[in-house]
Amino acid sequence: MCVPGCHAAIHSQLNRRGLFKAGAAMVAAGTVGTAASRAEARGIRVFNRVVDLTQTLTPEFPTYIPDWALGVEQLTTFEANGFNTRRYSMVEHCGTHIDAPIHFAATGNTVDEIPLDDLVVPLVVVDVRAQAADNADYQLSPDDLAAWEAKHGEIPEGACIAMNSGWAGKAPGDGFANRDDDGVMHFPGFHVEAADMLMSDRAAMGIASDTLSLDHGSSSTFDTHYAWLPSGRWGIECIAGLDAVPARGATMVVGVPKIAGGTGGNSRIMALV
């Protein structure tokens, strides 16, 4: 049982597993206030708020393939049946969602096989809004990562690097997919060289895009997908809320569906700040 205001919980500055260990310590202590004080004395930081990084999914939300939109069917109503029930039909890669390694690989973890420890990670937010405003096809580059590190320090091991291009605010309008007269989409993504740097030099766990794809919209070769996912890492597409989190210091929690064999799935994602 929590006292009023017991939204504060704790996570480790050094190791994401510390989040779970600290949570267990809080329960054992019996009172949140006492446990939080002990945690702070041990150099473990409290978080003060939870930020939703998830787009609200509706049938109108844009999808990479136009006919992949969410379908909703009302099966029962409270008035007629005494309870409400709806049936959803959707492609796995719809709205804010995770790409599992198997999505672009012959073998690899399906969504239900991704280890839980890999879904609670340090969050790094790289702001490329100015670049994306000048070039809808902008690709986050190694130079952007280097500039981030010059300001905030080295990217922590096991992090998710999220691209804040400002694109989330365009949803659910047509500007989110930004298709031209030929149907080609134009929105920012990760350059494959940035993905390579994050894999080889920074041991990152995930990347997240606030657009419809990890690759930029006009890509037809999906270089970043093919480099990143087969390495055993995951990606997030259509992330939102990045303006409300710091460039460094938050912890990302990725809630994914546990569907056997899934190549991805609509996800609820949050940041602990």
The reply to whether 257 and 164 lie within a common domain is yes
What is the structure's pLDDT at 16? 43
Q: CA 55, 57, 63 angle in degrees (round to 5)?
A: 90
| pLDDT(201) > 60 | yes
Answer whether residue 2 is part of any domain: no
Answer whether residue 3 is part of any domain: no
Average pLDDT over residues 38-60: 78
pLDDT tens-digit readout, 95-109: 999 999 999 999 999
pTM attached to this predicted model: 0.84
Answer whether residue 104 is part of any domain: yes
Whichever domain contains 117, its CATH number is 3.50.30.50
Say which residues have a Cβ less than 8 Å from residue 22's Cβ, sequence separation at least 6: 9, 10, 11, 12, 39, 44
| pLDDT(214) > 60 | yes
Average pLDDT over residues 173-188: 97
What is the structure's pLDDT at 34? 56
The reply to whether 171 and 199 lie within a common domain is yes
| pLDDT(58) > 80 | yes
What is the structure's pLDDT at 73? 98
Answer whether residue 109 is part of any domain: yes
Answer whether residue 1 is part of any domain: no
**Pairwise pLDDT comparison (192 vs 4), residue with the higher score:** 192
The reply to whether 21 and 142 lie within a common domain is no
The reply to whether 43 and 95 lie within a common domain is no
pLDDT category at 39 given cuts 50, 70, 90 is very low
Which residues constitute the domain of residue 260? 52-272
The reply to whether 100 and 146 lie within a common domain is yes
166-172 CB contacts, 8 Å cutoff, 24+ apart: 166/129, 166/132, 166/133, 166/210, 167/132, 167/210, 167/211, 168/55, 168/210, 168/238, 168/239, 168/240, 168/241, 168/242, 171/55, 171/61, 171/62, 171/238, 171/240, 172/55, 172/58, 172/60, 172/61, 172/62
| pLDDT(40) > 70 | no
The reply to whether 196 and 124 lie within a common domain is yes
**Number of structural domains the chain divides into:** 2
Average pLDDT over residues 177-205: 97
The reply to whether 231 and 201 lie within a common domain is yes
Q: What are phi and psi of 89, to 5 degrees?
A: -130, 130
The reply to whether 42 and 89 lie within a common domain is no
pLDDT category at 33 given cuts 50, 70, 90 is low
Beta carbons of 207 and 236 less than 8 angstroms apart: yes
Name the least confident of 7-11, 146-150, 263-267: 7-11
The reply to whether 117 and 154 lie within a common domain is yes
What average pLDDT does the chain have?
89
Copy the structure tokens of residue 115.
């280890």
pLDDT category at 224 given cuts 50, 70, 90 is very high
Answer whether residue 92 is part of any domain: yes
pLDDT category at 46 given cuts 50, 70, 90 is confident
| pLDDT(223) > 70 | yes
What is the structure's pLDDT at 37? 55
What is the structure's pLDDT at 19? 46
The reply to whether 23 and 128 lie within a common domain is no
Answer whether residue 193 is part of any domain: yes
The reply to whether 163 and 215 lie within a common domain is yes
The reply to whether 188 and 89 lie within a common domain is yes
Answer whether residue 4 is part of any domain: no
